[in-house]
Amino acid sequence: MSILFRSQRTYRAEPTRSLSEILYCLIVSVSVLYSGCASIFGWDIHAPGILSEDFSKKVKPIPERVALYLPPELLAYVSHDRGGRTADPQTYHVGEALGPMLVEGFQAGFEEFILLETEPTSAILKRYGIPYLVTVRIKNFKNRVTWGGHAITVATEALVFDSDLKWLGRFESSGASDAEKVFAKKGGPQVNLNAALENNVLAIVEYLQDSMRRGTWTEIQKETGAA
């Protein structure tokens, strides 16, 4: 504000300038000052990192024992995708929210769930009688900002292993959220990011459940002699 006041006094001291010119210069100064602050500071977006009530309505636990390992690069994943050339800088702390949401999602999806905080070994999996190990990585993050909307898409890749750490399968999942006037609402970008992450977690858990119900990986284990 002090810069703005100094500019105002300077303009008034110039007798050759009209009132309209003075007002125009003030408007330009304010616009530049505002846009400069927005560009410097940008948006630092942290999602709540929790699942909604709708998730528990859609997902019911199945009688399976599953372990989840979250690699450090997933938890540390950050995107600076601003979503457009004219958009303000944006920093999305994706991993810090996706990690807890995956844990919560697996807890809701499987009657027996184990979170492995250290890199898994076959000895650990066999000690705890874990038939399935799942690890997830973020494959892509897309952000699109328009004058009226904001769309986020999160793509992940999940790998499934047996107790011998033999690869059983892999699949990709995508979660998206598209909303209007997000940046005009308090907490809007955070909620939109959270929604996209929840949709991704839902896709992962549902795919795992469907595959286990069909016995997809049981057949693979029998064929390879792991079962």
What residue has token string 């994943």? Answer: 77
What residue has token string 């598209």? Answer: 178
CB within 8 Å of 48: residues ≥ 6 apart? 97, 190, 191, 194
Return the pLDDT at 201. 97
Name beta bridge partners: 138: 156
- Judge whether 87 and 100 are in contact, CB under 8 Å: no
Return the pLDDT at 24. 41
Return the pLDDT at 49. 95
Q: Which of 52, 4, 60 is nearest to 32 (CA)?
A: 4
Say if strands 43-45 and 149-161 run parallel, antiparallel, or are unpaired.
unpaired
Which residue spans within the chain are E strands per DSSP?
A: 43-45, 62-69, 90-92, 110-116, 132-145, 149-161, 167-180
Coil vs helix vs strand at 14 = coil
Residues 94 and 59 grouped into a single domain: yes
Say if strands 132-145 and 62-69 run parallel, antiparallel, or are unpaired.
parallel
Residues 105 and 15 grouped into a single domain: no
Q: Give the span between the Cα atoms of 131 and 4, in whole angstroms.
A: 67
Coil vs helix vs strand at 155 = strand
Query: What CATH number has the domain bearing residue 220?
Result: 3.40.50.10610
Residues 50 and 28 grouped into a single domain: no
If one counts the domains in the chain, the total is 2
Residues 25 and 78 grouped into a single domain: no
- Judge whether 67 and 134 are in contact, CB under 8 Å: yes
- Judge whether 144 and 98 are in contact, CB under 8 Å: no
Residues 150 and 188 grouped into a single domain: yes
Q: Which of 69, 61, 57, 58 is nearest to 111 (CA)?
A: 61
Q: Give the span between the Cα atoms of 83 and 141, in whole angstroms.
A: 10
Domain span at residue 81?
43-224
Residues 22 and 61 grouped into a single domain: no
List, in sequence order, the alpha helices (H) in the chain: 2-12, 19-41, 53-58, 72-75, 94-109, 122-127, 188-214, 216-224
Residues 31 and 124 grouped into a single domain: no
- How confident is the prediction along the chain (227 residues), in pLDDT tens digits per residue? 322 323 232 223 334 444 444 344 444 443 333 333 333 457 889 999 999 999 999 999 999 999 999 999 999 999 998 777 766 788 999 999 999 999 999 999 999 999 999 999 999 999 999 999 999 999 999 988 776 677 899 999 999 999 999 999 999 999 988 755 544 455 578 888 999 999 999 999 999 999 999 998 876 666 665 44
Residues 193 and 150 grouped into a single domain: yes
Residues 7 and 82 grouped into a single domain: no
Dihedral sign (CA 28, 29, 30, 34): positive
List the structure tokens of 227: 């079962």
Return the pLDDT at 179. 59
Q: Which of 63, 62, 66 is nearest to 162 (CA)?
A: 66
Residues 53 and 165 grouped into a single domain: yes
Residues 18 and 86 grouped into a single domain: no
